[in-house]
Structure 1
């Protein structure tokens, strides 16, 4: 059976009320008091703001990201960004949902216990049924506890409960289902799997990265696969278990792996190198120190489960996890998998793009875009940089990549361009629109060979697009993500966000700004 690489993330509910994580070339900045900001925006009395992060430009311009509350309750879909000049005057705002977020009532008709039971029952009803995005759920191990919230992401704002129900899927993937139910009648308003998996096959020598140099830690008696120069990130073995903190890799001679999957250190070399390459990419490309921008390195866990053909990122444990693949001989530790998955953590800690509809496609595309950026940054002889996703792990079994950025439809499922129904596609296929946009912005349209790989990128409007180069395209996407996109940004909103970003970076009327507009029009986002 053909399986897809559903590269994804665990988007923890706690991220909706994250503390202040402020990034500007790795320097923290104090955000204005949320209460004062709420008053300045003219928000109603019951409305409040919770600071999430701040981006400060070189000229002092500030972009303040907040989550919103109503009567002390978290508002799902209430996030907003305030753009201030260097003197603190508000220039503009971007809101995930325009208009009022006030629910008709703040008095729930259901108790939290009833809401949790409803949510748990809804998840139990899916046991044994595939949702089209990975193996079927086989058990519900931990019924959730319901938290009262305001649901404003879609439709009329209403009082609701948010419940996380945990379980296990047939292939051993942990399930963490976020269910939002109406507090009046128990109607299920939203469900999504927070663990988004990669069904993929996936000095040291890794299975995919080849011979590389690793920064390790000497304890005085042994070497540890731990990098204190990159936030203390380290790699552990789960020894084919599906839980626990794992065992830190140690070695007597500081020579790790032999390039074969049979050597349990080889996958660890891939994982540790991938984490380091991702750290360096974000640091040197954007001045971002680590996934959260706080200088803290993530944990990489290898040898998860048995015959587990998946990999996933989790905000909850701030960790990256890899299975060993079919017959425990094909680890999923390729570099673009590492960069893709850990980039979900960056998205979670910035725009927080909802993992459904068009925003879900943008979430997935963001990880493809930055995962590709990591691959080009590392520039490994063993992994030629390209615009193909999952080309080394051979999940299809015929040597073809999982996804193609130049013409996404070559995988048989992804969208090359926007249409009114694209938001109904699985997010890994609706991501094709943004992936195609990025390729066109970076490299342009038509047939060409880049770094030894042949591409032929069409345009929906028949126009010729001239690229601005990969580095500039990455800068545009990163600024749009961290400064202008919100949790509900759709493709039209992404066009607006990237145009603003290009204007900020390269000037109004610049060739770069014109190329952004042309590339979006070429994928029918006008």
Structure 2
């Protein structure tokens, strides 16, 4: 029997959600969707299996669904590993886009399984499937990997996966058979599977001399030989920028009389229930403890100065590292959300955290995939604190890649992985420097250099426009690019993105010159950082697979540009030219290079009366600088001469139409006129709450079922207020339920169920013993749908907010059920609070 008593634990948010008044373009990602049900997953696998024969695959080939993310216009993006006889084929996977009904819209595949055939003839050729019986077990594979890894202590328990390893070789295409090595282009070679090995992929996360040593090792499951090994720690190698942002606004939470560096307006769930900054307090980098969330008696933090080595990590000087981190994390979240419609790192709005003051005099920062979080050092011999805006954007960029394309951190794909993080860092820096608001990324504000501001010698680690300035990075693709460190093989793609955004220079003496651009004009025209980032982000999240290389990245980028801006568009042409500039593909002519074109059209805007309406236009071509003239209903607006026009909208402005005319500085002047954008001024429909007493503060009514679970009990705390519903926690066989009956209006346009849930357990291991299902039933008790099932393998620290769409049940009277079952021993507690059903 569990004993419960009252315990007050209220938390009052003292922050503001990011402001946004515009209508999002239809190319933005959708809000996080519910996870696919077991039935939906099985249906998708069945649909994919039905396509096997057309691809020449037999029933021994299959799919294993891995990640799920929201797509555009209600679509869903699912990543599926390819399998053979139940084993994953490394580097062979598909990005599957489905519509609202589960139909396959598109499949982008990195296919390295086509020659897998278990027939006798195939095996005789040496290119068929290997025998899938391993000569030794996973423990021996781990022992071999550990012996080949320079580490002394495991930070995370090692794991080994038995899989099919395609041994890939690079060969020339037939058209390039007689080309000199120095003349080879990335499209002159192709990767082909030479043969397959049965292998273990062993992931070791160790420490050596106080530093993390992460390795992925591929070991033959027949002979024990090491086939390949690479560094798996995704770091920025000491690049950073800190204490140069001046006074910045940060979102915190007030709990009682104490402020916490917890931003609950950005992200849900995760370790802390929101975006958090914690104090590692010099815990060793070889096994850092994130520590506790930063707290303060006032809501003024930091002194804006570099941390004094050996000093307090909690006084004003020690808080500055946390200020840098929270501001960077907030702006990274806002860039992805406001510009791309992408929620947090995984697209599903899962909150993350950053731990500062890692180790002593630590010249590094890194993203840790095990916690989906970031650790930041204070700097030492070469750098100041590494909590800069571009470093945080860089590391969080690793988080996006980790959740989506999962580009293998080795070879050309590893260079693209690092380049994605540099690109994200620059985009976040530009967005933040422009105020951190709006729906586009400006062309100015970032310096296109990684780490310049904090480097004690004033030299950045990487130059985006001329990567070779660091002495190690490459400016263009060559046949040996995949064999160098990923931080250096990222160089060509970084340069590609700079040219795509800002264009190149035709003078051979310029650092922005590329000898590979030989079409007209010799200086390619950029399309702006905003469009460049949209194309890159779409390719990385919806098209790239783990083994994407430079040549394939070019093709996927062209596809993305064509889908966003049209086949034959200036944007698609710019992608071709930007890759040609780094020796990936051939150059093409630009159409009408001397004309001014609109690159960013003003969007339609909807605001409430009294809100701010903002319209933005972007242009390229012609001769800069540009001049701007905004028009309302065909009449020029006095004083509206900037690329952005904003004003306070009133009811009388409803229906007004705005456009901009952009003029260049040439003689005669060339102009371009934007599309029309319509302003809608209205009242946002109010929401109605259908759940009564959702916080359980007013007794038990109208809840039904096992209402004794409602109350103030010792051992658990409320999400807010003092009462909650504690299902489970008995440590014996028990069944408990709680439900409330509601009627969802037939006229509802939205119906969102949400509740706060905390799970803790005394069970261990991965076996499910205790569980709670959240279901929708009719008045007769028949289950209409299961929203989610939680169990003892899913404990979390603190509460997580859970949300579900109940619009399919509009016009019905239904019961919202929480049903818990517990086995005969070892308790699992499912604590529910703040139940809400908001309808419009």
8 Å contact kept, 1:339–1:370: yes
Q: CA deviation at 1:342?
A: 0.8
The DSSP-based 3-state class of the residue aligned with 1:230 is: coil
1:389 aligned onto 2:450: yes
Q: 1: distance between equivalents of 2:134 and 2:480?
A: 35
User: What SS is found at the alignment partner of 1:147?
Assistant: strand
Determine the structure 1 residue equivalent to 2:650.
Answer: none
Question: Structure 1 residues 92, 299: closer, same or farther in 2, change over 3 A?
Answer: closer
The corresponding residue for 2:655 is: none
Partner of 1:53: 68
Which position in structure 2 is the counterpart of 1:293?
347
Q: What is the rounded CA distance, in whole Å, between the counterparts of 2:383 and 2:533 in structure 1?
A: 34
Among candidates 197, 218, 224, match of residue 235 of structure 2: 197
Q: Which moved more, 1:216-225 or 1:27-36?
A: 27-36
Give the equivalent residue in structure 2 for 1:436.
495
How big is each residue's C-alpha offset from its partner over 1:389-448, in whole Å with a ceiling of 9 and x where there is no partner? 111121xx4212111111111111111111111111211111111001101011000289
For structure 2, the 5+ residue unaligned runs are 1-27, 118-128, 169-192, 268-273, 309-316, 436-443, 586-840
Q: How far apart, in 2, do the equivalents of 1:272 and 1:477 lie?
A: 26
Q: Contact (CA 8 Å) 1:97, 1:488: kept in 2 or not?
A: no
For residue 111 of structure 1, the aligned residue among 127, 137, 140 is: 137
Check if 1:178 corresponds to 2:239: no
| The structure with more radius of gyration | 2
* Structure 2 Cα separation of the partners of residues 54 and 25 of structure 1: 9
1:410 aligns with 2:469: yes
Work out which of the residue numbers 58, 76, 82 in structure 2 matches 1:44. 58
- Contact 1:163–1:179 under 8 Å retained in 2: yes
- Secondary structure of the 1:303 match is strand
CA separation of 1:92/1:303 partners in 2, compared to 1, >3 Å: closer, same or farther?
closer
Inter-partner Cα distance in structure 2 for 1:501 and 1:85: 18
Change (3 A) 1:438 1:329: closer
Q: 1:303 to 1:386 in 2, by over 3 A?
A: same
Residue of structure 2 in register with 1:18 after alignment: none
* Secondary structure of residue in 1 paired with 2:538: helix
Query: Which structure shows the bigger proportion of residues in helix conformation?
Result: 1
Q: Determine the structure 1 residue equivalent to 2:375.
A: 321
Q: Tell whether 2:95 aligns with 1:81.
A: yes
* TM-score, with structure 1 as normaliser: 0.85
The answer on 1:246 being equivalent to 2:291 is yes
Of 502, 515, 522, which residue of structure 1 is paired with 2:574?
Answer: 515
Asked whether the 8 Å contact 1:491–1:525 carries over to 2, the reply is: yes
Q: Which range is displaced more, 65-74 or 514-523?
A: 65-74
Query: Residue in 2 aligned with 1:209?
Result: 245
The residue aligned with 1:131 is none
On the 8 A contact 2:333/2:344 being kept in 1, the answer is yes
SS at match of 1:176: strand
Aligned partner of 2:401 among 344, 347, 354: 347
What is the rounded CA distance, in whole Å, between the counterparts of 1:466 and 1:265 in structure 2? 44
1:256, 1:292 → 2: CA distance?
Answer: 29
Q: Distance in 2 between matches of 1:245 and 1:141?
A: 13
Deviations 1:110-139 (A, max 9, x none): 22232222112122xxx3xxxxxxxxx566
Q: Tell me which residue corresponds to 1:169.
A: 208
In 2, distance between residues paired with 1:139 and 1:447? 54
In structure 1, stretches of 5+ residues that fail to align are 1-22, 128-136, 449-454
Report 1 or 2 for greater relative contact order, CA contacts < 8 Å, sequence distance ≥ 6: 1
Structure 1 pair 139–39 and aligned structure 2 pair: CA distance change class (3 A): closer
Deviation at 1:347, TM superposition (A): 0.5
Give the counterpart of 2:515 among 453, 460, 467: 460
Is the alpha carbon distance of 1:330 and 1:66 closer, same or farther for their aligned partners in structure 2, counting shifts above 3 Å? same
Secondary structure of 1:210's counterpart equals coil
- Corresponding position: 1:225 with 2:225: no
How does the TM-score come out when normalised to structure 2? Answer: 0.54
Distance 1:434 1:505, change over 3 A: same
